[in-house]
Amino acid sequence: MTHLDLAVSQEITCKIVIIGDSGVGKTSVIRRFANNEFSFDVATTLGQDFRSRLLKVGSNTCRLQMWDTAGAERFRSISSVYFRGVNGAIIAYDITNNNSFNNVKEWMGNFDQLVDAGVPKLLIGNKCDLKTERKIEKAEGEKLAKASNMLFGETSAKDNINIEHVFMKLVENMIDMENNNTRMTQKRNSAGERRPKPTFSETDATTVKPQNEERNVDVTQDNSTENTKKKCC
Ligand SMILES: Nc1nc2c(ncn2[C@@H]2O[C@H](COP(=O)(O)OP(=O)(O)O)[C@@H](O)[C@H]2O)c(=O)[nH]1
Ligand SMILES: [Mg+2]
């Protein structure tokens, strides 16, 4: 884990993963948010890859790395490396596909086995542009999310509906969570207890965003698509 010198750089890196059945639109959602692009012909490359986008958060810069399963979910063979150091997760289903909704619980179970319970999760019902083909009512998604303590939103990667909003909600939650952890850690430290490992990768998140600062966040597009052999620090 690398700690940045904040005098030199104010940038932190946060990692989110997206999971869910094949075909629900995971890759499309990431591409829409990272590069504002969409295609019906999404080429599948096996392995993991991620895209990133720079977000201006308060006076700091967050490089949001969005890791894609890149097809591995078809074989239920997502490596645990995918979840390492994760700060937030998106679990996706397709509102026109009952199976993809029924499988959400299984995806959540997989995630919870590998990742700290406190990591914020967002449930999305994607393809909400397909109104006449809808099988899952919005209220069902909301209910499941509430019962599982997840954020929720319906999205369309195709028509760019709600994508920006749900990602920002997740990032805000990740930052809140980290600020709370840091405050608890500071209390524990002053009581002489051992400091737990920080969730955010490159520096303490207190530097990310002062609590109560205005939330909505300026966004700077960063069009880099990167290959994942690189370790997410
Ligand atoms: N109508 C519609 N199609 C979508 C949407 N998102 C993805 N798709 C299409 O659904 C198919 C599967 O998308 P993909 O991103 O590969 O899903 P993944 O397997 O979960 O990564 C592709 O043909 C996409 O173009 C959406 O919001 N609306
Ligand atoms: Mg995909």
pLDDT band at 100 (very low <50, low <70, confident <90, very high): very high
Closest atom of ligand 1 to CA, residue 38? 25
C-alpha of residue 208 to centroid of ligand 2, in Å: 30
User: Quick check: helix, strand or coil at residue 192?
Assistant: coil
pLDDT band at 177 (very low <50, low <70, confident <90, very high): confident
User: Mean pLDDT, the chain, as a whole number?
Assistant: 77
Give me the pLDDT at residue 191, please: 61
Query: Range with the lowest mean pLDDT among 29-38, 94-103, 219-228?
Result: 219-228
Please report, for the chain, the start and end positions of each structural domain, with discontinuous segments joined by +.
11-38+46-175
- Atom 12 in ligand 1: which residue has the minimum CA distance? 23
pTM value?
A: 0.79
Query: Range with the lowest mean pLDDT among 44-48, 73-77, 96-100, 218-222?
Result: 218-222
Closest atom of ligand 1 to CA, residue 74? 19
Ligand 1 pocket, residue 127 CB under 6 Å: yes
Instruction: Give the homologous superfamily in CATH for domain 11-38+46-175.
Output: P-loop containing nucleotide triphosphate hydrolases (3.40.50.300)
User: Quick check: helix, strand or coil at residue 67?
Assistant: strand
Strands 49-57 and 225-227: antiparallel
Q: How far apart are CA 128 and CA 59, in angstroms?
A: 34
User: Quick check: helix, strand or coil at residue 106?
Assistant: helix
pLDDT of 137 above 60: yes
Q: How far apart are CA 101 and CA 91, in angstroms?
A: 10
User: Quick check: helix, strand or coil at residue 11?
Assistant: strand
Output 157 or 229, whichever has higher pLDDT: 157
Q: Among candidates 23, 38, 50, 16, which has minimal Cα distance to 200?
A: 16
Q: Among candidates 121, 113, 96, which has minimal Cα distance to 16?
A: 121
Which ligand ends up closest to the CA of 125?
Answer: 1
